[in-house]
């Protein structure tokens, strides 16, 4: 089904309005993004894109406040009891309303226009409250986060670093001394340039093990939901952290390390032995990603179906891995709300570092991201 925020018609009237209305427009766009995040997160055109796509949202038209009289023939004297913009002195038809669904109405609807929203704006809204939970001090990564702070204003420098405000102030002071209270002319001696200091902040290392069940029981819906979650998780981690490794693991009866592109596109089939993925994670922790050097975050997505004899092995390996993790996340795609073997086995695990979330519909991906990556207070 086509997303409800794909409409048409741009509101060119914004070009004729002032700063206040433009600011209201920007605020309405932000509100619309927040309101539609659950749908955007699983929008196929975004998930399957190169990350540069824009989407379109319906925004209520920014009309000025006004009194609107009803169209019925009646006296319009008196003061209405409604809020500003309500129809007043209506001729008593309480059932009057705009059309909804297949029902025709007799009142005008609200005007909407289409606003293009970039991936950067979606990410800003989605990632603002997300963070790696329980992140601890570990070995510092050689690569660093670089920030720049202004430490001085000078009369010489490169053109790219000119400070326009301070340049104009210097010109104004000089012109004032000559009896002219004006910013112009601006002379070469008025120019001021910013000088920067480089700030370097090393980050603790972390590794995320992204494990996805690709067995035959994972249908198109289950695989799409799992890939949607991992798509946004990957973008969030790379945007907010410079010292995080992401290891992609796909499993059916055996677990395999995958290239990122293959992880998001390659299909599999066959039976399900979930413990194979946990065993591979344990092996990688022993050989490459020592908990002494890395914050460990395994995430496993499955439909909950597993070889019956393997469930106890999954629990045993989970309890072996958990003491070295900052958190272990299990996401189950279960649209029919059935009891699954894997979730039944995991209910025996009594450890606050193990978190599980059941996704029953597309809109649940966004709350799942917020649940697993809840920002510490």
Residue 10 DSSP one-character state: -
pTM comes to: 0.67
Residue 183 DSSP one-character state: S
Domain ranges of the chain: 1-64+112-126, 146-200, 203-372
Query: How many helices (H) and strands (E) in the chain?
Result: 10, 12
Looking at residue 32, its pLDDT comes to 76
CA distance linking residue 227 with residue 42, whole number of Å: 9
Tokens of 269: 């089939």
| CA–CA–CA angle 173, 174, 180 (5° rounding) | 85
CA distance linking residue 16 with residue 19, whole number of Å: 10
Looking at residue 323, its pLDDT comes to 95
Query: Rounded to 10 degrees, what is the CA torsion of 305, 48, 243, 294?
Result: 10
Looking at residue 204, its pLDDT comes to 83
The answer for 337, left when phi > 0, alpha when psi is -120 to 50, beta otherwise, is left
Closest listed residue to residue 239, CA positions, set 131, 365, 367: 131
CA distance linking residue 371 with residue 329, whole number of Å: 10
Q: Render each residue's pLDDT in the chain as its tens digit; 377 residues.
A: 444 444 334 444 444 455 566 677 677 777 777 787 888 787 776 766 555 566 665 555 544 444 555 555 555 555 555 555 444 444 445 455 555 555 666 665 555 556 677 778 888 888 988 999 998 887 765 545 555 566 678 888 878 788 888 899 999 998 888 888 888 888 888 998 887 766 555 668 999 999 999 999 999 999 999 999 999 999 999 999 988 999 999 999 999 999 999 999 888 788 999 999 999 999 999 999 999 999 999 999 999 999 999 999 999 999 999 999 999 999 999 999 899 999 999 999 999 999 999 999 999 999 999 999 987 65
CA distance linking residue 63 with residue 345, whole number of Å: 57
Looking at residue 14, its pLDDT comes to 47
Extract the runs of DSSP E, i.e. beta strands, from the chain.
55-60, 68-69, 87-88, 112-117, 140-154, 193-204, 206-213, 244-251, 255-258, 295-302, 328-333, 354-359
Q: Looking at the domain 203-372, which fold is it? A: Rossmann fold (3.40.50)
CA distance linking residue 323 with residue 318, whole number of Å: 9
| CA–CA–CA angle 223, 336, 274 (5° rounding) | 45
What pairs with residue 162 in β-bridges?
A: 193
Q: Is residue 39 a contact partner of residue 4, using CB atoms and an 8 Å limit? A: yes
Residue 151: phi, psi to the nearest 5? -115, -10
Q: How many other C-beta atoms lie within 10 A of the C-beta of residue 93? A: 11
């Amino acid at each position: 089904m086509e997303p409800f925020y794909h409409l048409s018609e741009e509101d060119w009237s914004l070009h004729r309005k002032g700063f206040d209305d433009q600011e209201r427009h920007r605020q309405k766009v932000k509100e619309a993004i927040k309101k539609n995040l659950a749908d955007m997160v699983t929008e196929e055109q975004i998930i399957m894109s190169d990350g540069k796509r824009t989407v379109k949202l319906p925004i209520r038209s920014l009309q000025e406040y006004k009194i609107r009289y009803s169209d019925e023939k009646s006296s319009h004297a008196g003061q209405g009891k409604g809020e500003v913009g309500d129809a007043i002195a209506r001729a008593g038809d309480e059932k009057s309303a705009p059309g909804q669904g297949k029902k025709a109405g007799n009142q005008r609807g609200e005007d909407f226009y289409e606003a293009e929203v970039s991936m950067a704006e979606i990410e800003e809204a989605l990632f603002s409250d997300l963070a790696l939970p329980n992140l601890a001090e570990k070995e510092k990564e050689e690569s660093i986060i670089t920030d720049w702070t202004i430490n001085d204003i000078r009369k010489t420098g490169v053109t790219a670093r000119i400070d326009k405000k301070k340049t104009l102030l210097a010109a104004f002071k000089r012109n004032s001394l000559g009896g002219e209270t004006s910013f112009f002319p601006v002379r070469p001696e008025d120019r001021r340039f910013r000088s920067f200091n480089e700030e370097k902040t090393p980050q603790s290392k972390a590794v995320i093990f992204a494990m996805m069940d690709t067995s035959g029981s994972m249908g198109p819906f289950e695989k799409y939901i799992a890939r949607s979650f991992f798509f946004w998780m990957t973008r969030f981690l790379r945007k907010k952290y410079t010292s995080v490794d992401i290891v992609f693991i796909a499993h059916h009866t055996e677990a395999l390390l995958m290239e990122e592109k293959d992880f998001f596109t390659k299909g599999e089939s066959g039976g399900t032995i979930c413990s194979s993925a946990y065993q591979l994670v344990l092996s990688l922790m022993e050989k490459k990603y020592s908990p002494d050097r890395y914050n460990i975050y395994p995430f496993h997505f499955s439909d909950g179906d597993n070889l019956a004899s393997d469930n106890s092995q999954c629990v045993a390996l989970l309890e072996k891995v958990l003491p070295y993790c900052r958190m272990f996340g299990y996401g189950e795609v279960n649209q029919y709300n059935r009891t699954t073997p894997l979730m039944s086995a995991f209910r025996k695990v009594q450890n606050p570092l193990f978190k599980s979330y059941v996704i029953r519909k597309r809109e649940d991906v966004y709350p799942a991201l917020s649940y697993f990556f809840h920002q510490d207070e």
